[in-house]
């Protein structure tokens, strides 16, 4: 078990590199790995169950203690990223499934790795955990509404269809994990150190499947889409920090809001694309998954070397 724990720690530390390698593998063996795309909802459900195991009821207490900080963060999450996705997509001339994929990413809740990034960057980890939990619980309502508001009005999918998908692959697994933690906390504590293997492995499988299913598109138009994704993420990080600063939050809280806004649950975006649209609509999510872990890790490293008051 000691060896397995070390492997889990390495997986968490080298998350971004493993996801990048997954993308490369998808390009090198598209025929063999493309079938994984059909199982993205399952992979995401497993990841979200693991996330639920890390949460406790007390994680939601911050809503009552610091409602202003939580409100600012969650509102920024569901306003900044969707609008920026739509604007950046238009700026880069993206259309069709590429633009829809950008909006899918922008409309998703906070990313599953954001709490670790905030911790490493000496940010307000409690605020980060609370924001992730709240935005995930709100996702079944807000994510479909934002997609239908910002995307092409002729989309052949309804609010209730997407609502049901998000409930199944996000809300139910998270709540199940919360219940298991509440009922068997003593046993769950023992497996928590190994959970990075679940989240990292799940995201790598999602990226493998999406990139493999879109290998030709990645090679032909991937550069433009990658630039759009990078711009989206960097603007999210910057505007998230700026919003928190204008709202008067302290430095640690600004860092938490920045990461929570800039890092998205790209697995959910990929799952919605695979379930309701086309594999091409999942490509921005796969690229975002690779990039936001790299940018988040880099930002956390820079912040960790600076005083929290600087």
Model confidence pLDDT, tens digit, residues 92-110: 999 888 899 999 999 998 8
- The answer to whether the CB of 61 falls within 8 A of the CB of 190 is no
* Interatomic CA distance for residues 211 and 193, integer angstroms: 29
Please tell me the predicted confidence (pLDDT) of residue 201.
Answer: 83
Burial class (CB in 10 A: 0-12, 13-18, 19+), 223: exposed
pLDDT in tens, 281-296: 888 988 887 788 788 8
Q: What is the mean pLDDT of the chain?
A: 84
- Please name the residues in contact with 179: beta carbons below 8 A apart, sequence gap of 6 or more: none
Cα separation, 150 vs 99, in Å, equals 10
> For residue 6, what pLDDT band results from cuts at 50, 70 and 90?
confident
Q: With beta carbons less than 8 A apart as the criterion, state whether 246 and 265 touch.
A: no
pLDDT for 80 beyond 70: yes
How many angstroms separate the CA atoms of 58 and 181, rounded? 12
Tokens read off for 183:
């009922």
Which residue in the block uniquely carries the two structure tokens 């922008």? 106
Concatenate the DSSP letters of all residues of 125-156 into one string. HHHHHHHHHHHHHHHHHHHHHHHHHHS-TT-S
pLDDT of 309 higher than 50? no
């Amino acid at each position: 078990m000691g060896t397995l724990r070390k492997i889990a720690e390495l997986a968490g530390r080298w998350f971004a590199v493993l996801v990048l390698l997954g993308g490369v593998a998808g390009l090198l063996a598209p025929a063999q790995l493309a079938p994984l795309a059909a199982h993205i909802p399952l992979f995401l459900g497993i990841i979200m169950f693991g996330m639920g195991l890390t949460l406790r009821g007390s994680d939601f207490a911050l809503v009552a203690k610091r409602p202003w900080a939580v409100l600012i963060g969650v509102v920024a999450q569901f306003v900044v990223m969707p609008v920026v996705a739509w604007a950046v997509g238009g700026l880069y001339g993206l259309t069709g499934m590429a633009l829809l994929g950008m909006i899918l990413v922008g409309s998703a809740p906070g990313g599953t790795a954001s709490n670790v990034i905030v911790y490493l960057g000496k940010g307000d980890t409690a605020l980060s955990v609370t924001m992730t939990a709240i935005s995930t619980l709100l996702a079944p309502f807000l994510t479909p509404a934002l997609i239908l508001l910002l995307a092409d009005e002729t989309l052949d999918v309804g609010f209730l269809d997407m609502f049901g998908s998000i409930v199944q692959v996000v809300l139910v697994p998270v709540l199940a994990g919360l219940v298991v933690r509440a009922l068997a906390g003593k046993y769950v504590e023992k497996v928590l150190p190994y959970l990075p293997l679940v989240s990292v492995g799940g995201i790598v499988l999602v990226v493998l499947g999406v990139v493999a299913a879109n290998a030709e598109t990645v090679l032909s138009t991937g550069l433009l889409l990658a630039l759009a994704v990078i711009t989206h993420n960097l603007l999210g990080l910057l505007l998230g920090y700026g919003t928190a600063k204008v709202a008067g939050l302290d430095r640690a809280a600004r860092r938490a809001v920045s990461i929570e806004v800039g890092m998205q649950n790209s697995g959910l975006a990929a799952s919605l694309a695979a379930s309701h649209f086309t594999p091409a609509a999942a490509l921005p999510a796969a690229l975002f998954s690779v990039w936001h872990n790299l940018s988040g890790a880099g930002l956390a490293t820079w912040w960790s070397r600076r005083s929290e008051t600087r």
